[in-house]
């Protein structure tokens, strides 16, 4: 992927690093964007005082700004509405002499790019750790010259060799399981000394990490997921970069990184954003402090940094045919920039769904960030979706608590869902049992397969957009520790020579196959379940005693379909009184048991098997 070019550079989207003498970002742009303005970062030796001119109509130089470093120019350009795709020469002069000629590429957009569809409640997201899923190209396991040369599948925090080709090779598996969107942990370059596998320490914003593949590989993944009726979701980091980022040794401006480029820890007190009693000291440290020493905090108040991050996001959406975004550590950004960024992206792609990470079990904190929420302090967010951490926490606790205690067990789920009134759009929350930063859901439920099925049934049938961490479908867990390196384990069959292969079924246990079949069946049904995609939710609080104790019943319904879900957490079967649900369930109603593939006629009571989740389509 790396090409060394000198004068007369032809910029193509597949080239991320231009040369040691010249760097221009974004690598290219497109004609027909709604916002005609474009700002180039140009880095080369001694550009101070340089001028830039365009020699071709259609691309106009509006302004040139020198950085604090003599090696940077920021060039504001305007792309004419009638500009055609092609090469546009930009001439850099200093002291009247030409020092660089850049042949900048403006490309044609894909048909319908601006109105691209995105993931929604119809979809189920599959979260992948690329280094740990499948090794499709062993030749890129180690790349000469990179700081982290580890390759040891037995070490929790070394690289294991998974890559984009491995994901491409197994798109059929993902699709056949019933997943319709793929969210990868970040794939961009992380040329960090340690733990470079996870992707959250960016060292080049425009370059896929060579150990994962190339920019072209990533674009191929975007196009093939699209061709398969799926969406590729990119994990975006707005708040920080990696300490090994190429600009750290020569920053464009003195204030490019917060706290003068020296580590000062954030407080991690995310509630300071909403706190009406907050001190300026706490507020500053939350958004300007560094996440960890290896992740310098980007100064989002610098207008050139703002534009850089915004354009980088748009570039990847356009280049890689993305179908959505997930935003890491969303409340660590300043809220002003968060809205600026969201507005700019949605201006170009109004249908794009974007989900932010706000790891709080308090729905008041989470809901603050969703578009449409009327906040007490007047803040208006533009972010469409949030990860539903409050519900995840409730599901985990509900599966483990004693339902006979007041407010415990399944009542936790009931109470949490009852707080949906604080959200502007609870249907556009991403619901999940686990992710890459917490113990796997199978571990959370203490390796109880019945409880895992119950938790996943709830996630797949409640309001919102379900997300599944890779391997949940085959009972992957982290029994030895809560170390991230163990949680992000290798998917069996992703490496040549693996004794077990979950892609083919070879040497899998009966329990693993059964869980895989369970996922396939429920997700296949979910694809055609209108009531789950867009139906209203009606739920009935679990009773505190009697047959209804430890039983939670809820309905999803539209004018065309009605679905009843019954969760029984008890160790014994329960006969529940159906008259409790007569406001929505007619007496003598006929139904189809989805997972058992049987038809039933409801009487006065319903016998619900022990530790089970039953789904009924009311006919």
**Unique residue bearing structure tokens 């020198």:** 66
Q: Is the pLDDT of residue 1 over 90?
A: no
Length of the chain as a residue count:
619
Give the model's confidence band at 10: pLDDT under 50 very low, under 70 low, under 90 confident, else very high: very low
The whole-angstrom separation of Cα 280 and Cα 547 is 54
Q: How far apart are CA 284 and CA 282, in angstroms?
A: 5
Q: Model-level pTM? A: 0.96
- 8 Å CB contact between 615 and 461: yes
Full DSSP string of 445-474 = TTT-HHHHHHHHHHHHHSSSEEEEETTGGG
pLDDT of 44 over the 80 cut: yes
- Residue range 464-478: average pLDDT? 98
> pLDDT per residue over 322-342, tens digit each?
999 999 999 999 999 999 999
Q: Can you give the pLDDT at residue 207?
A: 98
Q: Given a cut of 50, is residue 161 above it in pLDDT?
A: yes
User: What does the pLDDT read at residue 290?
Assistant: 96
DSSP 84: P
d(C-alpha 451, C-alpha 567), whole Å: 10
* Residue 30 near residue 318, CB atoms below 8 Å: yes
Name the residue with tokens 């302004």: 63
Strands 29-30 and 97-107: parallel
Secondary structure (DSSP) of 269-304: -GGGGT-TT--HHHHHHHHHSBSBTTBPBB-TTSHH
The kind and range of the H/E element at 574 are: strand 574-577
Instruction: Say how many C-beta atoms besides its own lie within 10 A of residue 125's C-beta.
Output: 24
Task: Please identify which residue in the block is written with the tokens 């079924």.
Answer: 505
Pairing of strands 188-189, 59-66: unpaired
- Sequence-separated (6 or more) residues with CB below 8 Å from residue 363: 390, 416, 419, 420, 422, 423
- Classified as helix, coil or strand, 16 is coil
CB 558 within 8 A of CB 617: no
Q: Are β-strands 605-608 and 125-128 bridged in parallel, bridged antiparallel, or unpaired?
A: unpaired
In angstroms, the CA 124 to CA 403 distance is: 29
Question: What's the pLDDT tens digit per position in 356-407?
Answer: 999 999 999 999 999 999 999 999 999 999 999 999 999 999 999 999 999 9
Answer yes or no: is pLDDT of 283 > 90.
yes
Q: What is the pLDDT of residues 49-79, one digit of tens each?
A: 999 999 999 999 999 999 999 999 999 999 9
* Residue 218 contacts residue 168 (beta carbons within 8 Å): no
CB atoms within 10 A of CB 340: 18
Q: For the chain, what percent of residues have pLDDT higher than 90?
A: 96
Q: What are phi and psi of 529, to 5 degrees?
A: -95, 95
Write out the two tokens for 583. Answer: 């406001």
Cα(236)–Cα(231) distance, rounded to whole angstroms? 15
Residue carrying the six token digits 């610098």: 302
Distance CA 420, CA 338 (A): 23
Query: What does the pLDDT look like over 243-261, one tens digit per residue?
Result: 999 999 999 999 999 999 9
Structure confidence at residue 544 (pLDDT): 79
| C-alpha span between 296 and 305 (Å, rounded) | 13
Q: Using alpha carbons only, what angle is made at residue 568 by residues 565 and 572, rounded to the nearest 5 degrees? A: 145
How is the chain split among helix, strand and coil, in percent rounded to 5? 30, 25, 45
- pLDDT for position 18: 45
Q: Dump pLDDT digits (tens) for 93-107.
A: 999 999 999 999 999
Contact 182, 218 (CB under 8 A): no
User: How far is Cα 400 from Cα 121, in angstroms, rounded to an integer?
Assistant: 27
Question: Nearest Cα to 541, choosing from 400, 389, 416, 362?
Answer: 416
* Phi, psi (degrees; rounded to nearest 5) at 506: -65, 125
H/E run at residue 40:
strand 37-44
pLDDT of residue 16 exceeding 80, the answer is no
Q: Residue 575 pLDDT more than 60?
A: yes
- The pLDDT-based confidence of 20 (bands split at 50, 70, 90) is low
Q: For the chain, first and last CA: distance in Å?
A: 57
Classify residue 587 as exposed, middle or buried by CB count within 10 Å of its CB (0-12, 13-18, 19+): exposed
Asked if pLDDT for residue 457 goes beyond 90, the answer is: yes
Q: pLDDT at position 532, please?
A: 98
Q: In the prediction, which pLDDT does 315 show?
A: 99
Peptide bond into 26 cis (omega under 30): yes
295 has pLDDT over 60: yes
> Is a pLDDT exceeding 80 seen at residue 280?
yes
List, by residue number, the catalytic residues: 328, 357
């Amino acid at each position: 992927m790396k090409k060394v070019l000198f004068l007369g550079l032809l910029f193509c989207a597949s080239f991320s690093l231009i040369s040691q003498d010249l760097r221009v970002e974004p690598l290219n742009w497109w004609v027909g964007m709604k916002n005609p303005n474009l700002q180039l970062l140009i880095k080369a030796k001694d550009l101070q005082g340089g001028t830039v001119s365009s020699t071709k109509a259609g691309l106009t130089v509006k302004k040139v700004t020198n950085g604090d470093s003599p090696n940077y120019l920021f060039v504001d350009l305007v792309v004419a509405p009638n500009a055609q795709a092609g090469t546009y020469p930009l001439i850099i002069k200093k002291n009247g002499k030409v020092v660089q000629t850049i042949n900048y590429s403006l490309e044609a957009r894909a048909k319908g790019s601006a109105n691209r569809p995105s993931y929604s409640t119809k979809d189920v997201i599959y979260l992948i750790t690329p280094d740990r899923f499948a090794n499709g190209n062993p030749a890129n396991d180690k790349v000469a010259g990179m700081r982290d040369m580890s390759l040891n599948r037995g070490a929790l925090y070394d690289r294991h060799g998974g890559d984009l080709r491995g994901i491409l090779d197994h798109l059929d598996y993902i699709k056949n399981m019933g997943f319709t969107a793929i969210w990868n942990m970040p794939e961009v370059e992380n040329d960090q000394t340690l733990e470079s596998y996870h992707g959250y320490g960016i060292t080049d914003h425009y370059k896929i990490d060579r150990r994962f593949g190339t920019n072209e590989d990533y674009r191929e993944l975007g196009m093939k997921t699209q061709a398969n009726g799926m969406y590729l979701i990119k994990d975006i980091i707005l708040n920080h970069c990696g300490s090994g980022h190429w600009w750290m040794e020569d920053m464009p401006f003195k204030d490019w990184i917060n706290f003068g480029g020296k580590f000062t820890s954030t407080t991690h007190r995310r509630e300071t954003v909403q706190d009406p009693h907050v001190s300026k000291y706490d507020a500053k440290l939350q958004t300007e402090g560094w996440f960890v020493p290896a992740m310098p905090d980007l100064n989002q108040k610098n207008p050139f940094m703002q534009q850089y991050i915004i354009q980088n996001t748009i570039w990847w959406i356009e280049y890689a045919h993305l179908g959505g975004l997930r935003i890491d550590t969303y409340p660590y950004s300043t809220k002003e920039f968060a809205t600026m960024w969201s507005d700019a992206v949605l201006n170009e792609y109004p249908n794009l769904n974007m989900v932010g990470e706000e790891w709080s079990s308090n729905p008041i904190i989470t809901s603050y960030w969703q578009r449409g929420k009327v906040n007490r302090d007047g803040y208006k967010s533009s972010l469409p979706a949030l990860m539903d951490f409050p519900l995840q926490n409730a599901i985990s606790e509900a599966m483990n608590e004693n339902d006979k205690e007041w407010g415990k067990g399944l009542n936790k789920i009931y109470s949490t869902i009852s707080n949906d009134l604080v959200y502007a759009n609870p249907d556009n929350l991403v619901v999940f049992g686990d992710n890459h930063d917490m113990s796997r859901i199978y571990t959370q439920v203490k390796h109880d397969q019945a409880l895992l099925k119950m938790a996943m049934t709830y996630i797949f049938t409640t309001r919102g957009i379900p997300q599944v961490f890779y391997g949940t479908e085959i009972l992957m867990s982290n029994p030895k520790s809560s170390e991230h390196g163990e949680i992000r384990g290798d998917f069996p069959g992703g490496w040549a020579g693996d004794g077990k292969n979950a892609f083919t079924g070879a040497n899998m246990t009966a329990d693993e196959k059964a869980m895989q079949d369970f996922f396939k069946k429920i997700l296949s049904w979910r694809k055609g379940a209108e009531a789950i995609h867009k139906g209203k939710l009606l739920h009935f609080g679990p009773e505190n005693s009697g047959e209804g104790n430890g039983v939670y019943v809820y309905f999803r319904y539209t004018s065309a379909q009605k679905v009843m879900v019954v969760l029984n957490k008890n160790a014994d079967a329960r006969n529940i009184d159906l008259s409790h649900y007569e406001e929505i369930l007619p007496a003598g109603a006929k139904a189809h048991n989805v997972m058992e593939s049987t038809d039933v006629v409801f009487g006065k009571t319903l016998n619900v098997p022990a530790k089970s989740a039953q789904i009924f389509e009311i006919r």
